[in-house]
A and B are shown apart, each in its own frame.
Chain A
């Protein structure tokens, strides 16, 4: 099995380098042609125009764009992603400090989206041709057309204000401190033997991950239903019926294995969108992740952070896609034979 996966990962790694180079160049160009003035944002507010010009020269902003990109790329090769204009701290440190929180949120949201999507897909298929299907279908369209930030606000009003069941700011209760470790709070709290922190972190994650997950579940739901409809036309399903297998067994043991494959590919793509969707949700829930950092960076025209966060998003999406493709290979023996 691994003989097929390893070459795929290798090929993906090589391709990733080129993709990252292209994305970094595009990001660099787009950010540097925007009508914002990083030099003016870098100096104290009481700086004169002459001082801003001097800063512009110091930052190399007066040089041709390709030269600026070359310098930046050279620094990145040495692990230097620059210094934040606003925080005046190394950008890499800021990204690494906030990335685990966002990955944790995105993974949990993906689990929510997957559970809801698969359950909904099964239910849609199960109720096909009935009035219930139409009702569920309508519900899924409603979910699909409601953006994640609206869900976020709705959940706050519902479970934060009207029925105050869940907290909706930060990652932990005010009386708790972050345990030292990887930054992945769920893991760190368990590793530190602190179930109270783990539980607090889970409660803080429920609303944001639901808001993100729910918004992404209808697509999974609908693709899974379509896959089932296709798969149920296959001969082996008819054969299974002739063998007298129960419908439940046919659905879960035979049809699901094949119907899940297109859904899996879709989930890989969805994760990229979901990761991007953390931006607004993190701001609404005051969740200290990469999205929150990015929104601040955009407000402050903090180009080094925007550039690094953009690349971080790209790296995560590439990684997830590689994992999904590998999984696809593992689950689909036909691809391994080729």
Chain B
């Protein structure tokens, strides 16, 4: 056979390769952005451009660029005015008077008025729109419009946390006139908000392009154009920031933050946020015995977990609330004390030679290092006399298993609460009537249900602080760590960090 490559042919091919490579290189877009553009590598897309429709914590940072909530939160999570300039909750919790700004204009030029507020938080819910906000505002019996800028929300029963909900997930004001004229479907295709940016392009699961709203009533963003690349794979996000395809990215694996911050052009951040990592406990089976539950808690070295899996940045927690939020109890400690754990177990007749046997579930990949943390806990428990059988579950299975009473004694769980309010920490995590709580015992449940109806803010917060301590000492919950927001950015790009992990492009600027 005479199929031979001649040297000349090879050289020609090589030449073609070089030309092709050069052509690729030349057409490589200029990723070095101008001072008025930023490209963000974000781990998830918005579920829909109807901001009331779905509660998605990761989408809040995107929604907040296009829409505004009635009440906002500052970097320290304090509630501050946004579309609403003043508010006052009645002492009986049955009404909330609000004063709206009169200088807010939607992206289509329509002025925002009390009609839009009423439509968002009352009319569209009553009209049966499929929006998650229907549960947040289920107690709203009417919204009385007193003037184009004054409204009073009326409630069917005391509504202790309505202010918090007006600043929380999904509570973005939408334009009544526009939405009614085009319909919800068309609104989702071409959303109109009041936010600091307008949506100019959207590719599902791929890209969001925003342009500055020069008519914005609030502080004018420094960045004119924001490109959000939806990059779900953590390795791809790391590659994107390292190659310069994006200027900032979040949810980067901890070890990659440590590696990338050594690059001369990049800066890494691990900011504590309002997300708790904890063990959701059952009140029966192997955890029916309080001694076993308390021993399980005393046996866990939370500082070691933080050091091993979060580079020491995750704060060990004693209560199911994060530092800086109202329900946190700064002076309360729950010691890592293996001897105490052994003593508790001995009281119930258990020891390392005759261990208490429990089952333990963890997700694998739902939040950073989840399964590794679970394995470390199993080791720690083994040393004091708790033999845990670890199983992996999908996050989506949690609810079904919990509903069927099939969750094991302990489940490693992560809970995000951007509002910082204790109702959405302990209140939700330990409320036996809600789908999250694995604990069904009413000794804790009754305290939670009572607090849901406590209107007085100070009384409510004090109640939650007591509840947090009680639940921990009772062994109803085992808080572990305050999670961190991992992020890598180009050094020249700065932004305002928020206690709840928001990464807002309207606070970014190039230096």
Q: Contact at A286–B231, with CB atoms within 8 Å?
A: yes
**Chain B proximity mask over A213-253: 1 for CB below 8 Å, otherwise 0:** 00000000000000000000000000000000011100100
Report the minimum CB–CB distance from B165 to chain A (whole Å): 9
- Is the CB of B78 closer than 8 A to any CB of chain A? no
A310 at the interface (CB under 8 A from B): no
With CB as the reference atom, state the residue of chain B lying closest to A282.
B205
How far is B198's CA from A53's CA once the two chains are assembled, in angstroms?
39
Q: Does the CB pair A285–B433 fall under 8 Å?
A: no
- Contacting pair B3 A247 (CB below 8 A): yes
Convert B124-138 into 0s and 1s, putting 1 for each residue whose CB lies closer than 8 angstroms to a CB of A: 000000101111100
Residues of chain B with a CB closer than 8 A to A248's CB:
1-3
B residues less than 8 Å from A203 (CB atoms) = 24, 27
CB of A288 within 8 A of CB of B1, answer no
Contact of A164 among B28, B227, B406, B435 (CB under 8 A): B28
What is the minimal beta-carbon distance from B396 to any residue of chain A, in angstroms?
A: 4
Distance from B115 Cβ to chain A, minimum over Cβ atoms (Å):
25
> In the complex where A51-B135, A203-B27 touch, is A126 in contact with B233 (Cβ < 8 A)?
no
| B346 → A minimal CB distance (Å) | 37
Q: How large is the interface on B (under 10, 10 to 19, 20 to 34, 35 or more residues)?
A: 35 or more
Write out, one digit per residue, whether chain A residues 11-42 have a CB within 8 A of any chain B CB (1) or not (0): 00000000000000000000000011100110
- Asked if B403 is an interface residue, CB under 8 A from chain A, the answer is yes
Output the nearest chain B residue to A126 by Cβ-Cβ distance. B3
- Residues of chain A contacted by B47 (CB below 8 angstroms): 86-88
Contacts of A47 in B (CB 8 A): 135, 434-435
Do A299 and B136 touch across chains, with their CB atoms under 8 A apart?
A: no
B493 shortest CB reach to chain A, Å: 16
Contact yes or no, A164 B29, CB < 8 A: no
**Which chain A positions have C-beta within 8 A of B134?**
44
For the complex, give the distance between the alpha carbons of A285 and B401 in Å.
34
A44 CA to B54 CA in the complex, in Å? 7
Contacting pair B206 A166 (CB below 8 A): no
A52 touches B239 (CB 8 A): no
Question: Which of A165, A171, A178, A247 touches B28 (beta carbons < 8 Å)?
Answer: A165
Tell me, yes or no, whether B400 is within 8 Å of chain A by CB: yes
Instruction: Tell me if A309 is interfacial: C-beta within 8 Å of chain B.
Output: no
* CB-contacts of A52-110 with B (<8 A): 52, 86-89, 94, 97-98
A50 at the interface (CB under 8 A from B): yes
Q: Which of B27, B188, B229, B243 contacts A170 (CB 8 A)?
A: B229
Q: Is B9 among interface residues, defined by CB-CB distance under 8 A? A: no
B61 at the interface (CB under 8 A from A): no
Distance (Å) between the CB of B211 and the closest chain A CB?
A: 13
**B379 lies within 8 A of chain A by Cβ:** no
**Do A286 and B28 contact each other (CB < 8 Å), given the known contacts A50-B433, A126-B1, A247-B1?**
no
Residue-wise, chain A 127-159 has the 8 Å CB interface mask toward B (1 for contact) of: 000000000000000000000000001001100
Q: Are B229 and A174 in contact (CB under 8 A)?
A: yes
B217 sits at the interface (CB 8 A): no
Q: Which residues of B contact A166 (CB under 8 A)?
A: 24, 28
Shortest CB–CB separation between residue A291 and chain B, in angstroms?
10
Task: Say whether A293 faces chain B, with CB atoms less than 8 Å apart.
Answer: yes
CB within 8 Å of B: which of A247-265? 247-248, 251
How many chain A residues touch B (CB < 8 A): the figure is 62
Tell me whether A41 and B399 are in contact (CB under 8 A).
yes
Bound Cα distance from A288 to B433, whole angstroms: 39
Assuming the A-B contacts A45-B132, A286-B230, are A174 and B205 also in contact, with contact meaning beta carbons closer than 8 angstroms in the complex? no
Which B residues are in CB contact (< 8 Å) with A88? 47-48, 53-54, 130
Given contacts A47-B135, A174-B39, A286-B206, A168 and B229 within 8 Å (CB-CB): no
Known A174-B209, A247-B3; contact A87-B396, beta-carbon cutoff 8 A: no
How many whole Å from A171's CB to the nearest CB in chain B? 6
Q: For residue B136, which residues in chain A have a CB less than 8 angstroms away from its CB? A: 44, 46
> Which residues of B lie under 8 Å from residue A46 when comparing CB positions?
55, 135-136, 424, 428, 434
Is A312's CB within 8 Å of the partner chain B?
no
Whether B220 is near chain A, meaning CB under 8 Å from some CB there, is no
Which residue on chain A has the smallest CB distance to residue B240?
Answer: A169
B375 within 8 A of A: no
Which residues of chain B from 436 to 477 have any CB-CB distance to chain A below 8 Å in the complex? none
Residue of A nearest to B22 (CB): A165
How far apart sit A35 and B392, CA to CA, in the bound complex (Å)? 13
Q: Which of B28, B209, B401, B428 has the most CB of A within 10 A?
A: B28
- Does A283 lie within 8 Å of B400, measured CB to CB? no
Compute how far the CA of A296 lies from the CA of B48 in the bound complex, rounded to whole angstroms.
Answer: 14
B325 at the interface (CB under 8 A from A): no
Q: Which of A35, A50, A246, A284 contacts B235 (CB 8 A)?
A: A284
Q: Which residues of B contact A168 (CB under 8 A)?
A: 236, 239-240, 245
Q: Which of A189-208 contact B (CB under 8 A)?
A: 199-200, 203
> Which of these, B2, B185, B397, contacts A35 with CB under 8 Å?
B397
Q: How far is the CB of B107 from chain A (nearest CB, A)?
A: 19
Distance (whole angstroms) from the CB of B49 to the closest CB of chain A: 10
Question: Which residue of the partner chain B has the closest CB to A170?
Answer: B206
Contact of B222 with A by CB under 8 A: no
Q: Which of A40, A89, A97, A301 contacts B48 (CB 8 A)?
A: A89
**Would you call B201 an interface residue if the criterion is a C-beta within 8 Å of the partner chain's C-beta atoms?**
yes
The answer to whether A174 and B207 have CB atoms under 8 Å apart is yes
Contacts known (A40-B435, A164-B244, A248-B2); A35 close to B21, Cβ less than 8 A: no
Are the CB atoms of A286 and B236 closer together than 8 Å? yes
Q: Contacts A167-B245, A301-B396 given: A288-B435 contact, CB under 8 Å?
A: no
Which residues from chain B contact A40 at a C-beta distance below 8 Å? 399-400, 403, 435
Q: In the complex the two chains form, is B54's CB within 8 Å of A41's CB? A: no
Q: Using Cβ atoms and an 8 Å threshold, which residues of chain B touch A292?
A: 205, 232
- Taking CB atoms, residues of chain B closer than 8 Å to A86 are 47, 54
CB distance from B287 to the nearest CB of A (A): 21
CA distance A49 to B437 in the complex (A): 10
Whole-angstrom CA separation of A36 from B185 in the bound complex: 28
B229, closest chain A residue (CB):
A169
Once the chains are docked, how many angstroms separate the CA of A295 from the CA of B396? 13
Q: In chain B between 64 and 106, which residues have their CB closer than 8 angstroms to a CB of chain A?
A: none
A177 interfacial by beta-carbon distance below 8 Å:
yes
Residues of B within 8 A of A200 (CB): 27
Interface check A43, CB cutoff 8 A: yes
Q: A168-B240, A292-B232 are in contact. List 15 more A-B contacts (CB 8 A).
A: A36-B396, A40-B435, A41-B396, A44-B135, A45-B55, A88-B54, A88-B130, A89-B48, A89-B185, A165-B28, A246-B2, A247-B1, A284-B235, A293-B205, A295-B232
Please report A residues at the B interface, Cβ cutoff 8 Å. Answer: 35-37, 40-41, 43-52, 86-89, 94, 97-98, 126, 153, 156-157, 160-161, 164-175, 177-178, 199-200, 203, 246-248, 251, 283-288, 292-293, 295-296, 299-301
17 contacts between A and B (CB under 8 A): A35-B406, A36-B400, A44-B132, A47-B434, A48-B434, A52-B435, A89-B48, A126-B1, A164-B243, A167-B28, A168-B240, A169-B41, A169-B236, A171-B206, A286-B236, A292-B205, A296-B232
List the 3 shortest-distance A-B pairs measured between CB atoms, nearest first. Answer: A40-B399, A44-B132, A37-B400
Please give the residue numbers on chain B whose beta carbons come within 8 Å of chain A beta carbons, in ascending order. 1-3, 21, 24-25, 27-29, 39, 41, 45, 47-48, 53-55, 130, 132-136, 185, 188, 201, 203-207, 209, 227, 229-233, 235-236, 239-240, 242-246, 394-397, 399-401, 403-404, 406, 424, 428, 433-435
